[in-house]
Amino acid sequence: MNISIIGAGSWASAIADFLSKENKVLMYARNIEDVNNINNFHINKKYFDYLKLSENIKATNNLEKLLDNDIIINAIPTQSIREVLEKIKDRLDNKILINLSKGIELKSYKRVSEIIKELNTNCTYAVLTGPSHAEEVIKKMPTALVCACEDEEVAKKIQNLCSKDYLRVYTSTDVIGCEIGGAIKNVLAFGIGMVTGLGFGDNTKAAIMTRGIYEMNKFAVSQGANPKSINGLCGIGDLIVTATSMHSRNNRCGILFGKGYSLEEACKKVKTVVEGIPTTKALYELSLKEKIELPITKEIYKVIFENSDPKKSVEILMNRDKKSEY
């Protein structure tokens, strides 16, 4: 099978490496140097310079070439999706588009599936998500994911494509829940990283993680998600891996921010896109618009965008009105 991937970042490369064992993979990279490194030397120098990629993986900086294949995987950040796919939207008819990105579009407050639906209603959309550091997948460490698609047969097709050896994929029809879980866990991971940087301990992190799951569930259900989804790989699973690991860019950025680095300095040190930052803004503004109370998200937003004192935000959360846990 021939498969296309939009993007040449760490997760795109890890998925390309996995799929290349039995398929031919064409990756899209804007940078011609990245294209040449993949095609001529079979390495992704920026992310995995120690790993020799399969000769079944090729790269191009011509977006149109990806459209020769029926399965297209999106692996570029959420805030860039509309701009890039706008260029090829009329040629996505009858394609299967598998999304790997996690976030909410800042200017529209839309999930990725909603963006794709606006661009083309004739392609089949699926999201592949869950606790999956690219750095571990590329080393063939056992990983479990969930693929959500409204068409269950397509979800099963992707399950068969992506389940082998060290990857195990479960299916779901709850696209909304899987997208929201993946988006909000980045917000919470930044916040948990921030309290780590401030010097707070495991009790604090566990409190934010647990009450954060409550917020995630509350928001997801308000949007029409199945609450069971948040209890699975796309929610709790992804939050655990993102909030507790130094592989996580959101967690690392939050730690640096908590230690006193400016947001710009922290992002620069992380060196890759920190999806949790724009998603925090989109999520908070959307929660105001829809009158959904998300206290942890609110305080993370205030610290990032209103220069609130992070320790003061922790105090505010600790001194909220007393209530029952559920």
Dihedral (CA of 316, 184, 292, 280) sign: positive
Q: E strands of 104-201, at which residues?
A: 124-129, 143-149, 167-172
Catalytic, 107? Answer: no
Beta bridge partners of 28: 6, 60
The residue assigned the tokens 């993946």 is: 182
- Alpha-carbon distance values, 172 to 2, 38, 122, 225 (Å): 24, 34, 21, 11
Torsion, Cα 138 140 142 148, to 10 degrees, reads 50
**Residue of 185, 228, 281, 289 marked active site:** 185
Instruction: Mention every residue, 6+ apart, whose C-beta is less than 8 A from residue 58.
Output: 24, 25, 26, 27, 38, 39
- Per DSSP, the three-state class of 281 is helix
Q: Which residues participate in catalysis according to the annotation?
A: 185
